[in-house]
Structure 1
Amino acid sequence: MSGDAAWLAAFWEENRLCEGKPFRTDKPRAPVSMHFDDHFLMGLVPYSVVRYHSDAAYQEEVHRQANDILEAELGRRFYPEIVCPVHPKRIEFVFGAWFEIHEGSTPWLANDVRTIDDVRRLIDRVEREPIDERLLPEGWEAEVRRFEERSGGKVAWGTGGRGPVTVGTSVLGAENLCLWMVEQPETIGEFYSLLARKYVEWARFLRDLSGFKGSGWWVTDDDSCLISRELYEQFCEPVLRALFEAFAPGPDDRRYQHSDSAMGHLMPVLRRLGVNGVNLGPTIHPADIRAALPEAVIEGQIPPFLLRNGTEAEIRACVRRDFEAAGLEGGLVCTPAGSYAEGTPFENLRAYLRAVQELTRYDR
């Protein structure tokens, strides 16, 4: 085993001892969260996006190729090499959106809403249609059974989804949503009231269908930066409240928000909702997050482009800043404020791991 390989193996073993201990300092250091998405994958190995999203065996092969590289460079295999070939329709699909999938880009949600009358027709249709097994393709049970036999795991559906602003921009269009919140508040209020009810119904149906018995709810809401706190409180807070009350009612249940955008003005609302885990935008200082959300685990807060383009000294300075601002009491998980950007050099990623190992310790 080379020196780097031995160091990485020791790093990940120590990292295991640091995980799952929020706001505790009886761990060696702050943990690192390192997960790579399809954006990062596009810069790692060449593949057909269309085939990747329609052929599970091909997706697994792409993941194996990527993992061979990642294991050599970072000491772990990050992408799943056994994937479930079927997925339930997302809540956005219930509201009429669909995925556009083209070569050279990741999937993008599209919609056909153009006028406020389209929104009224959409509300009428979704109100009438039940949430049922039409969320799944024919033959889904056999495919899930085969996946669970191969993987030894269980599917867990209905555990989270996009937040109310990003659902709204995906279903209605970003400009439309922002304008209609101001100019057509009654209709948009009806839309969000229906979204709250259908979202809970959708998640409960999928949890029951997949046999998921756990609690907690996660939210991804990048577009929440687009609207004011007042509009967020009026239209979107009730949606999150309904989801948290249904699926994360206990004080220790996970209520997690990822919004990697400049949405710091909404942090007081997140605190009121009891959000206890966050991954927020890179322009928000970790000290400001800690002040606004003193009881939340902060996942962050190095800017993805600093990690991709910065020097080792800049990376180390940011790790030190994050730890001193948000991690001294054990409530920090070191990871980008957003995600690991495509094209981030492996030497920068290793420098980041070394900085966390050396600069975020509790045992010294």
Structure 2
Amino acid sequence: MNTSERYRERNIQSENRIREAFQFKNQEAPYIIYDVNYWLFGALSEEIPDGYCSEDPSIMTNYQAQKIETHMREYHDVYIPFLMPWFGTGVLASGFGIDVKFLDKMDPAVDLPTIRDVQQIRDLKKPNPLKDGLMPRVLNTIRYMRENTDFPVGVTDCQGPLTTALQIVGYDKMIYWMHDHPEMIHDLMQLVTDSLIEWIGVQKEVAGQSLDDDAYVLGVKIPGSLGGVWISDDDSVIFGKDLYREFVVPYNSQILEAFGGGVIHFCGCANQHIENFLSTRGLIAIHNLNLDHLDEAARLRHALAEKKLVYMVGDFNLEDNRIDHYYQQLFQKMGSQGLIVISYIAPALSLQEGQYVDARRDPGIGKRIERSIQKFNNSK
């Protein structure tokens, strides 16, 4: 697939527009209508190929490549094509021995942890990316994607130290042990952090990437030289600020700094951590699916803007009768400078008052959202 020349100029322009937002020089917010989801959540069952997450990487590669080609014909946003070796959110945890369940035409799901006693943490060893869990399958998929296409290849889903630790020991035990055995939890967080840094580095080497470039945070490319990593921190929303400051911020900082800076993603509202985010070393942006809570999102957005940190705001497609109202409110509350807007197109669901509900969206939903963004997008 020869895409380099076909999309080269467009990709350069898109990256420049994203870079302008990082420099707070943009007059309009760059946006992406993200209908090339590599995950399966929100996809119509009949459109998901059999064996998508199997050991045959051609199925995943062809599925994603076809969606990219369709997107590049339909939209003129700042999306920059890439391929993603997607095997759910538990790849690193699988390296620690956590089982991952593969369900028919659904995203892989992490099984229950097996650790029962805090002393078992001492038995945990750093995973070997070439041998343990799903890590070899990810590397094989990256190799296949590089050999059979000329799309850049991102690292697999990058759960941060907090979520990975929770997958290993469980939510209830983790929170109790933070209070009762803080030194053991710090040891666990450091082990996971060191393992994640090594795992990301191995993937980047196989993918032919530099350490401080080629990061794609849920579909948004971080401009070259600004940062080379993103981590998902969805569990931040359930933690108080003190525990998060002690047990998460230092380890997130290590990962972001190891790759020249990066982005933290989470869904929902984590405004209790605004100061924690601002004190995270290496942070260049927050990527947030705000779940329809624009007032809370705007508070975070403006706190970040004061420090010249970018806010990437997104959600899955809204119900039809609220599209204009949503984007009008979004830009009124947030402005445009230092803002990147993403609408994730999921034909099997709809966002309604903060909840995702089953739906069957017509194919024109993405174009209607794009027109709405263009209508209200400005720098005021």
TM-score (norm 1): 0.74
Contact (CA 8 Å) 1:52, 1:59: kept in 2 or not? yes
Q: How does 1:71-150 map to 2 (within 5 A)?
A: 90-115=91-116, 117=117, 119-126=118-125, 129=126, 131=128, 133-134=130-131, 137=136, 147-150=145-148
User: Cα distance 1:19–1:133, how it changes in 2: closer, same or farther (>3 A)?
Assistant: same
The residue aligned with 2:219 is: none
Q: Secondary structure at the match of 1:308?
A: coil
CA apart distance, 1:323: 1.9
Higher strand share: 2
User: Cα distance 1:95–1:104, how it changes in 2: closer, same or farther (>3 A)?
Assistant: same
Cα distance in 2 for residues equivalent to 1:75 and 1:22: 17
Cα distance in 2 for residues equivalent to 1:326 and 1:180: 39
CA apart distance, 1:81: 9.7
CA apart distance, 1:355: 1.4
2:256 corresponds to which of 228, 244, 263? 244
User: Cα distance 1:163–1:26, how it changes in 2: closer, same or farther (>3 A)?
Assistant: closer
CA apart distance, 1:259: 0.3
Cα distance in 2 for residues equivalent to 1:134 and 1:57: 21
Q: Secondary structure at the match of 1:34?
A: strand
Contact (CA 8 Å) 1:17, 1:27: kept in 2 or not? no
218-227 or 271-280, larger mean C-alpha shift: 271-280
2:268 corresponds to which of 250, 254, 261? 261
C-alpha RMSD of the superposition = 4.0
Contact (CA 8 Å) 1:96, 1:111: kept in 2 or not? no
1:327 corresponds to which of 335, 341, 352? 335
Cα distance in 2 for residues equivalent to 1:326 and 1:148: 39
CA apart distance, 1:82: 7.3
Q: Is residue 2:318 matched to residue 1:308?
A: yes
Cα distance in 2 for residues equivalent to 1:92 and 1:24: 36
1:270 corresponds to which of 277, 290, 300? 277
The residue aligned with 2:309 is: 296
The residue aligned with 1:212 is: 209
Contact (CA 8 Å) 1:18, 1:28: kept in 2 or not? no
Counterpart of 1:90, as a letter, is: V
The residue aligned with 1:233 is: 245
Gaps of 5+ in 1: 1-10, 249-253
User: Cα distance 1:173–1:310, how it changes in 2: closer, same or farther (>3 A)?
Assistant: farther
Contact (CA 8 Å) 1:241, 1:273: kept in 2 or not? yes
The residue aligned with 2:234 is: 222
Q: Secondary structure at the match of 1:334?
A: strand
- Tell me which structure has the larger Cα radius of gyration: 1
User: Cα distance 1:44–1:155, how it changes in 2: closer, same or farther (>3 A)?
Assistant: same
Counterpart of 1:351, as a letter, is: R
Q: Is residue 2:59 matched to residue 1:58?
A: yes
Counterpart of 2:374, as a letter, is: Q
User: Cα distance 1:12–1:171, how it changes in 2: closer, same or farther (>3 A)?
Assistant: same
Cα distance in 2 for residues equivalent to 1:91 and 1:139: 11
User: Cα distance 1:12–1:225, how it changes in 2: closer, same or farther (>3 A)?
Assistant: same
Cα distance in 1 for residues equivalent to 2:56 and 2:236: 33
Contact (CA 8 Å) 1:217, 1:247: kept in 2 or not? yes
2:168 corresponds to which of 167, 171, 189? 171
Q: Is residue 2:358 matched to residue 1:356?
A: no
Gaps of 5+ in 2: 1-9, 213-227, 351-360
Counterpart of 2:378, as a letter, is: R
Contact (CA 8 Å) 2:83, 2:154: kept in 1 or not? no
The residue aligned with 1:21 is: 20
CA apart distance, 1:208: 4.3
Counterpart of 2:113, as a letter, is: D
Counterpart of 1:34, as a letter, is: I
210-219 or 255-264, larger mean C-alpha shift: 210-219
Cα distance in 2 for residues equivalent to 1:61 and 1:198: 30
Counterpart of 1:107, as a letter, is: P
User: Cα distance 1:286–1:134, how it changes in 2: closer, same or farther (>3 A)?
Assistant: same
Aligned length: 332
Cα distance in 2 for residues equivalent to 1:34 and 1:214: 27
